[in-house]
Amino acid sequence: MAETVAEALTRILPGSRVVTDPESMAGYRHDEAEWAPYGEPAAVVRPRSADEVRTLVRYCLERGVPVVPRGAGTGLSGGANALDGSVVVSFEAMNAVLEIDPAERLAVVQPGVVNDDLRAACAEHGLWYPPDPASSPWSTIGGNVATDAGGMCCAKYGVTSDYVLAMEVVTGEGEIVSLGRRTAKGVAGYDLRGLLTGSEGTLGIITEITVRLRNQRPPERTVAGYFDSVVAAGEAVSAVIAAGVVPSALELVDRHCLAAVDAWKNMGLSADADVVLLGRCDTPGAEGEAEAERMLECFTAAGATWAARSSDQQEADALFQARRLAYPALERLSPVLTEDVCVPRALVPEMLARIERTAVAHDVRIANIAHAADGNLHPLIITPHGDEEARVRAQRAFEVILDDAIALGGTVTGEHGVGVLKKRGMNSELGPAVLAMQRAVKNALDPHGILNPGKVIDAEGAEDVPVG
């Protein structure tokens, strides 16, 4: 009898690395993307070194077995979803902060390090790792790099790709290579490090990451405003940007999200507004004071029913914590199909208005959260459990929102990645010539098509890979 994939991997890797029990593997089949298709993996491998990753990739290469890298599974586009017969590579055991260099202001980490854990380790040295997706208490640096994650402070401090200096990668040919550099400057050859950042495991499997750090930032000043509609809150966002204020955070949270968080965590959040806009400034001294005052004036001028500087740090932190908890709080109550469109900041009000019209036209409930300062909107399409007709309407609304973002000069994903949910939207956004260039890159770096196939983009001439 021929040896199965699971049996072979158990033979060539240390025994504790390979998971084959169907019940145990069930939790590795998919990420958090609602209704994104997935299959049944042949095995799950939890490596502890790049050498072990190379061993399993070479085995899979010989037999044409798909390899699906996975971080914490917090993704929202299906990028980590298993295919039938694939090997899922979970990096949960490669979770060490290997080095923090205060002089060079960099850190070297394994891909399974949780974002907040890296931040805590850096803080001990007076340093700060800025990228902060809402999932930072749970998501891993490897997953953040795979999707080029952003977060609340990225309008001022940039996204993950702005902080990735170097990486160690296992290629589609089963080789271990180093990309990028530790030096402050370096332009030798093509920027392959940048190419792999955001590639969702389709061009190589990242086994080590070197990230840039900053000095700890000054304390933030918080401004909150209540608005009667998401469009009015969007106008306030446009006013803040037009005023030249660069907030360290500017987050939009609507009543649906606050109510869900309050029902879950009993935080006593206000329900006096349909939308809350939360702004922060961290510029030190008098300039920072002036920025906060200008932000407050913008909120008021845009029609805030109430706006004020927060004098209670605990209360301000609670509001931002509620923003982080909005998605999981809603997910507890109903299936949630999560968007991730990004539009020019001046068009945030128009995009929010279109989202409202889409909700009415398709008879779906859409809650809204947003990294408003950089135009990154996260409409959350909520459906009742077991309502098949509502699911179909939600998926149609999802595609309309993607098309509206493109029509306004935006993009179908600002930070969650393409995965399987947004391939149609990405194709519309990029067009045939650019898609051909991207396929050429995919075919060059993964010539045998085993690295997370069916995600983001397919190899030339290939059809979408069935995933169950």
Residue 459 has pLDDT above 70, yes or no: no
Among 197-211, 294-308, 311-325, the least confident range: 311-325
User: Which of 199, 215, 231 is at the close of a domain?
Assistant: 215
Residue 418 has pLDDT above 90, yes or no: yes
User: Which of 267, 296, 329 is at the close of a domain?
Assistant: 329
List the one residue out of 73, 96, 92 whose CA is nearest residue 26: 73
pLDDT band at residue 468 using 50, 70 and 90 as cut-offs = very low
Residue 174 identity? G
Q: What percent of the chain has pLDDT over 90?
A: 87
209 and 111 in a single domain? The answer is: yes
203 and 234 in a single domain? The answer is: no
Per the structure, the complete domain to which residue 373 belongs is given by 334-421
Give Cα 58 distance to the centre of its chain. Answer: 29
341 and 304 in a single domain? The answer is: no
325 and 362 in a single domain? The answer is: no
146 and 182 in a single domain? The answer is: yes
Does residue 43 lie within any of the structural domains?
A: yes
294 and 374 in a single domain? The answer is: no
Residue 465 has pLDDT above 80, yes or no: no
Among 36-50, 79-93, 451-465, the least confident range: 451-465
200 and 238 in a single domain? The answer is: no
More confident site: 320 or 435: 435
CA distance 356 to 404: 12
Compute the mean pLDDT over every residue in the chain, rounded to the nearest whole number.
94
CA distance 379 to 201: 26
Region 408-413 average pLDDT: 98
CA within 13 Å, CB half, 337:
24
pLDDT tens digits, one per residue of 346-395: 999 999 999 999 999 999 999 999 999 999 999 999 999 999 999 999 99
Region 166-171 average pLDDT: 98
Residue 414 has pLDDT above 70, yes or no: yes
pLDDT band at residue 462 using 50, 70 and 90 as cut-offs = very low
Does residue 152 lie within any of the structural domains?
A: yes
Region 436-454 average pLDDT: 96
- Residues 6+ away with beta carbon under 8 Å from 184: none
Does residue 16 lie within any of the structural domains?
A: yes
CA within 13 Å, CB half, 164:
32
Residue 461 has pLDDT above 50, yes or no: no
Residue 388 identity? E
List the one residue out of 259, 254, 260, 302 whose CA is nearest residue 278: 254
312 and 235 in a single domain? The answer is: yes
Residue 38 has pLDDT above 70, yes or no: yes
In order of 25, 37, 48, 65, the CA distances from 22 in angstroms are 5, 18, 22, 18
Does residue 410 lie within any of the structural domains?
A: yes
List the one residue out of 112, 109, 117 whose CA is nearest residue 93: 112
pLDDT of 467 reads 37
Residue 272 has pLDDT above 80, yes or no: no
pLDDT band at residue 312 using 50, 70 and 90 as cut-offs = confident
CATH code, 310: 3.30.70.2190
pLDDT of 4 reads 95
3-class state of residue 298 by DSSP = helix
Does residue 453 lie within any of the structural domains?
A: no
- Number of domains into which the chain is organized: 4
120 and 157 in a single domain? The answer is: yes
279 and 365 in a single domain? The answer is: no
Does residue 36 lie within any of the structural domains?
A: yes
Beta-strand relationship, 164-170 and 221-227 = unpaired
pLDDT tens digits, one per residue of 221-249: 999 999 999 999 999 999 999 999 999 99
More confident site: 422 or 1: 422
154 and 210 in a single domain? The answer is: yes
Does residue 448 lie within any of the structural domains?
A: no
User: Which of 41, 72, 90 is at the close of a domain?
Assistant: 90
pLDDT of 271 reads 61
Does residue 437 lie within any of the structural domains?
A: no
Packing angle, helices 432-445 and 423-430, rounded to 10:
120
CATH code, 371: 3.30.70.2740
CATH code, 140: 3.30.465.10
